[in-house]
Amino acid sequence: MSRAARLLDLLQILRRHRYPVTGEALAQELTISLRTLYRDIDALRAQGADIEAEAGVGFLLRPGFMLPPLMLSHDEIEAIALGIRWVAGRSDTDLSGAAYNALAKISAVLPEDMRENLQTTGLMVPPPWEDKQVKAAEDAHLKLIRQALRSERKLVMCYGDVNEAVTERIVWPAVLGFFDQTRMLVGWCELRKDFRHFRADRIRDLTVSAERLPTRRLHLLKQWREQCANATDKT
C-alpha cells in the first residue's frame, strides 16, 4: 500500500471514531508500527487536519477537514452513482433534485479519469413503474414527512387501509423507508397505542403538527427496532 493510500485509510478510521482511539489500535488496524503511525499523524496535521492527542487516551480528529481532491476507488464511484440514481428515481422531487446535485458536486472534484468513469458506468437503475396521479400526491406527502422527521414534530393524517376504510391518525414519525415500489412511514400511532407502518400512497391527507414529539426521534427508532427484534426472536 502506498503512503498516500495509507494516509487516506488513517483519515477514514479517525472519522469513524467519535471518541479518542489509541495509537496501538490505529497501528494494529493499519498493520504499521507506532513510529510510522506517529509520522502519518504528523503528515495529516501538516495538511491541516485538526488531530488532538492526549497521552494515555489517544487521538481524535475534529470535524471539518477534507483532503482535496476527493479520492475514491472505482468501486466507490460506482456505488455512489448507483445509489444516487436509485434515490433520484424513488423519492420526492426535492430529494431527487438534491441527489443529482450531490452527484454533480462529486463529479466536479474528481480527477478527469474518475469523472469519466462516474459518467459512463455500466451500472443502471431501471425506472420504477408509477401512477402519475398517485405519484404527485405522494410526492407532496413525502416532503412533509421528511420535514416532520427533521423537526421532530407529530403528523396528523387521514389514512386508508387495505379495505379503503379511512381513519384519522396522529403519528410520531420515526423513520421513512424507501422500497422499490413503495415508501413506508414507521411511527407511533396515538390511535393504536403502538408502532404502525403506513404506506405513503395510502395517505389521503397530511399536515405537520406544531406539537413536538414527547420523546426524541432516535429514541422512537430504537424502541421500534427492539420491538422488531423481539418479534423475530419469538418466531
Architecture (CATH level 2) of domain 3-61 = Orthogonal Bundle (1.10)
pLDDT per residue as tens digits for the range 187-229: 999 999 999 999 999 999 999 999 999 999 999 999 999 999 9
Would you say 186 and 195 are in contact if contact means Cβ atoms under 8 Å apart?
A: yes
Convert the pLDDT of each residue in 151-192 to its tens digit: 999 999 999 988 889 999 999 999 999 988 889 999 999 999
CA separation for the pair 205, 170 (Å, rounded): 12
Domain ranges of the chain: 3-61, 74-120, 132-234
Sequence-ordered list of residues with C-beta below 8 angstroms from that of 20, at least 6 positions apart, any chain:
52, 54, 57, 58, 59, 60
> Is a pLDDT exceeding 90 seen at residue 15?
no
Give yes or no for a contact between 223 and 217, defined as CB atoms under 8 angstroms apart: no
Tell me the pLDDT band of 9, cut-offs 50, 70 and 90: confident
Confidence check: pLDDT of 2 > 60: yes
- How confident is the model at residue 70, as a pLDDT? 56
Q: What is the pLDDT of residue 134?
A: 56
Ramachandran region, residue 97 (left: φ > 0; alpha: ψ -120 to 50; beta: rest): alpha
pLDDT, the chain, mean: 87
pLDDT tens-digit profile of 78-136? Answer: 888 899 989 988 888 899 999 989 888 888 777 777 778 787 888 888 877 665 655 67
Buried b (16+ CB within 10 A) or exposed e, 37-47: beebbeebeee
CA 8 – CA 67 distance, rounded (Å): 8
- Is the pTM higher than 0.85? The answer reads no
Phi first, then psi, for residue 87 (nearest 5°) are -65, -45
> Checking DSSP bridges between strand 194-199 and strand 203-212, what pairing results, if any?
unpaired
